[in-house]
């Protein structure tokens, strides 16, 4: 298939699933500052049935996303593909909205087709407060839709005029897809795919002071055991688990790696704990001592909607490539930022640009890209040309999300990332009549010539 035709084919096959395409007369898929589910509450990464009100009243034990803008932006989806007007209601009490009343802000009917990034224009929202909102629209012929479902959200402790929302990481319990015995004593658990995870064990120990040894890894040896001396950056870890007598669950702590948990790395939140990328777990049971009745893992990722995009073609190989790429984006979202995997866990500008566009193709999620951009502005990496990628990340953030507030806020810093202060006047000629090529290097404040390199230049041969 010609490349051009293949590109068109992919464009039409990556679509929202049928659940998104179902006929809905009321606006749906509400977002506030691009958060789709700010009302969801988690306990150390695990979803709960608590309401946002219960979580706020109970103190700081629970995790949920907070809106850090005093003037947030609202977004929604309509099913009829046409909107001539909208009306937004914001209230401090849910029951007010149930009666179509609002004590915080009533936008009134606004003749506009905009449904993305509609700015709140009421009085500034107060810190650490729960607010509720809903929206209705007008379509062709002035027909009014029903109001949407009500969405709740909580503001942060120190909201700004515009601030990026906070985020949560989630844990998904996964069972092995296959269990085998590479020898008579060891049991190998295969989870099918690699993932940044914690291991979870249910062990029955007959003695008081037994110690279970579990091996976690990404690769196997030829005889079916976990590779305990893998090459390069392939991960392996042995964990010793002190056991207590009787049956109980264990989630052993993973010791941090000094290289990717230093001060420059993106650290895992305390409520999640340290993670390790692994696909396999291997345990040697001790006859008469202990027995592992269940082995599972908690896969840690950012919030990811597996149903947001689908792809299917007549080529099974291409379908597998799509699934592999989509899962990679999800699995590497474990820190909440676009980091370089498990090497340093540091965002890099060019890497972030590629991951940003890949993420947009796999999920309708935009906050991670903005968060990574904000991080990179104040924590730049060393390659000079990487600095220029920030401008492209900011542009894509606006282009795909429809929200220009982050680019506006970071404009002075983005302008500096162009390195125009290090430019020189054009027209200078070298000995052979060719123009010199300068390599600006902000860390050293030097401008280095390809043909005549000053002493001390980082590019000196």
Question: In which domain, by residue range, is 461 found?
Answer: 419-461
Q: Are residues 36 and 74 in the same domain?
A: yes
Reduce the secondary structure of 327-382 to three states and give it as a string: HHHHHCCCCCCCCCCCCCCCCCHHHHHHHHHHHHHHCCCCHHHHHHHHHHHHCCCC
107 within 8 A of 59, measured Cβ to Cβ: no
**CA–CA separation, 343 vs 332, rounded Å?**
12
Domain final residue, candidates 276, 302, 328: 302
Do 251 and 121 share a domain, yes or no? no
The residues near 425 (Cβ < 8 Å, ≥ 6 apart) are none
Residues 408 and 429 both lie in one domain: no
Residue 409 domain-assigned (yes or no): yes
The answer to whether residues 21 and 136 belong to one domain is: yes
* Cβ-contact 66, 165 below 8 angstroms: yes
Strands 66-69 and 151-160, by their bridges, are: parallel
- Tell whether 308 is covered by a domain: no
pLDDT at res. 353: 98
Q: How far apart are CA 397 and CA 34, in angstroms?
A: 11
Residue/partner pairs of 265-269 with CB below 8 Å, 24 or more apart: 265/339, 265/344, 265/345, 265/346, 266/335, 266/336, 266/337, 266/339, 266/345, 266/346, 266/347, 266/375, 267/345, 268/169, 268/300, 268/334, 268/335, 269/169
7 falls within a domain: no
Three-point CA angle 453, 454, 458, nearest 5°:
75
User: How would you label 148-179 residue by residue, b for 16+ Cβ within 10 Å and e otherwise?
Assistant: bebbbbbbbeebeebbbbbbbbbbbebebeee
- How many independent structural domains does the chain possess? 4
Q: Quick one: pLDDT at residue 333? A: 98
Which residues make beta-bridge pairs with 187? Answer: 283
Judge if 389 and 439 occupy the same domain. no
In a domain, 1, yes or no: no
d(CA 12, CA 10): 5
Reference 27, options 71, 80, 67, 73; nearest CA is 80
Are 25 and 158 part of one and the same domain?
yes
The whole-angstrom separation of Cα 145 and Cα 125 is 27
CA torsion, ordered 262, 267, 270, 271, to nearest 10 deg: -160
Nearest to 326 by CA among 360, 371, 368: 360
pLDDT at 137: 96
In a domain, 311, yes or no: no
Task: Specify the pLDDT at position 27.
Answer: 95
* Whether residue 130 is found in the same domain as residue 183: no
Q: Specify the pLDDT at position 24.
A: 56
Which segments of the chain have a pLDDT < 70?
1-24, 425-461
For 95-129, letters b (16+ CB in 10 Å) and e give ebbeeeebebbebeeeeeeebebbebebeebeeee
Measured from the Cβ of residue 191, the count of other Cβ atoms closer than 10 Å reads 21
- 428 domain residue, yes or no: yes
User: 405 is written with which tokens?
Assistant: 């507030």
Instruction: Identify whether the C-beta of residue 235 lies closer than 8 Å to the C-beta of residue 245.
Output: no
Structure tokens at 107: 């936008």
> Of 138, 166, 194, which closes a domain?
166
Say what the pLDDT of residue 17 is.
Answer: 43
Three-class DSSP category at 121: coil
In a domain, 3, yes or no: no
Whole-model pTM: value is 0.85
CB 182 within 8 A of CB 217: no
Predicted pLDDT at 338 = 98
- What separation in angstroms does the CA of 61 have from each of 45, 46, 197, 312? 12, 12, 22, 42
Same domain, 215 and 277: yes
Spatial contact of 280 and 216, defined as CB atoms under 8 Å apart: yes
Do 175 and 215 have their domain in common?
yes
Cα angle 427-429-432, degrees, rounded to a multiple of 5: 145
Q: If you ran DSSP here, which 8-state letter would residue 388 be given?
A: G
* Residue 5: inside a domain: no
Tell which residue, 102, 38, 29, has the closest CA to residue 67: 38
What are the C-alpha distances in Å from 356 to residues 23, 83, 304, 363, 448?
30, 29, 14, 11, 32
Q: Which candidate, 126, 155, 128, 133, places its Cα nearest to that of 66?
A: 155
Structure tokens at 198: 């914690």
Q: Which of 269, 302, 335 is the last residue of a domain?
A: 302
Same domain membership, residue 160 and residue 50: yes
Nearest to 197 by CA among 172, 225, 232: 172
**Residues 151, 22 share a domain:** yes
- The CATH number of residue 99's host domain is 2.60.40.10
**Predicted pLDDT of residue 13:** 37
Predicted pLDDT of residue 283: 94
Specify the pLDDT at position 426: 63
Give yes or no: residues 388 and 452 share one domain: no
pLDDT of residue 19: 38
- Please tell me the predicted confidence (pLDDT) of residue 209: 85
């Amino acid at each position: 298939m010609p490349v051009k035709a293949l590109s068109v084919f992919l464009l039409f096959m990556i679509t929202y699933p049928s659940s998104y395409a179902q006929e809905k007369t009321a606006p749906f898929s509400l977002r506030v500052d691009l958060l789709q589910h700010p009302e969801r509450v988690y306990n150390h990464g695990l979803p709960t049935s608590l309401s946002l009100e219960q979580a706020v009243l109970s103190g700081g034990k629970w995790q949920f996303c907070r809106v850090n803008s005093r003037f947030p932006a609202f977004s929604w989806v309509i099913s009829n593909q046409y909107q001539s007007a909208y009306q937004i209601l914001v209230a401090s009490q849910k029951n007010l909205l149930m009666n179509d009343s609002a004590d915080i802000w009533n936008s009134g009917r606004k003749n506009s087709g905009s449904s993305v990034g509609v700015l709140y224009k009421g009085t500034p929202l107060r810190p650490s407060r729960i607010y509720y909102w809903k929206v209705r629209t007008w379509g062709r012929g002035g027909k009014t839709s029903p109001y949407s479902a009500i969405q709740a959200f909580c503001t942060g402790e120190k909201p700004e005029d515009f601030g990026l929302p906070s985020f949560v990481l989630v844990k998904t319990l996964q069972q092995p897809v296959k269990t085998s015995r590479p020898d008579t004593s060891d049991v190998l658990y295969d989870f099918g795919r690699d993932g940044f995870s914690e291991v979870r064990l249910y062990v029955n120990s007959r003695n008081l002071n037994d110690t279970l040894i579990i091996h976690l890894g990404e690769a196997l040896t030829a005889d079916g055991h976990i590779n305990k001396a893998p090459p390069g950056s392939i991960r392996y870890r042995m964990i010793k688990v002190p056991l207590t007598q009787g049956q109980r669950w264990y989630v052993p702590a993973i010791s941090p790696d000094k290289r990717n948990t230093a001060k420059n790395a993106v650290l895992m939140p305390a409520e999640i704990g340290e993670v390790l990328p692994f696909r396999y777990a291997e345990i040697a049971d001790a006859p008469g001592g202990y027995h592992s009745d269940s082995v599972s893992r908690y896969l840690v990722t950012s919030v990811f909607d597996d149903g947001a995009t689908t792809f299917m073609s007549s080529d099974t190989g291409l379908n597998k490539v799509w699934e592999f790429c989509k899962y990679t984006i999800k699995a590497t979202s474990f820190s909440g930022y676009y980091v370089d995997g498990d090497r340093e866990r540091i965002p890099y500008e060019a890497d972030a640009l590629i991951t940003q566009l890949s993420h947009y193709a796999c999920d309708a999620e935009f906050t991670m890209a903005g968060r990574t951009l904000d991080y990179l502005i104040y924590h730049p990496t060393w390659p000079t040309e990487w600095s220029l990628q920030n401008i492209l990340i900011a542009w894509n953030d606006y282009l795909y999300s429809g929200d220009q507030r982050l680019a506006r806020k970071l404009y002075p810093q983005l302008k500096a990332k162009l390195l125009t202060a290090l430019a020189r006047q054009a027209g200078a000629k070298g000995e052979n009549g060719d123009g010199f090529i300068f390599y600006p290097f902000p860390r050293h404040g030097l401008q280095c010539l390809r043909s005549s390199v000053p002493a001390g230049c980082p590019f000196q041969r």
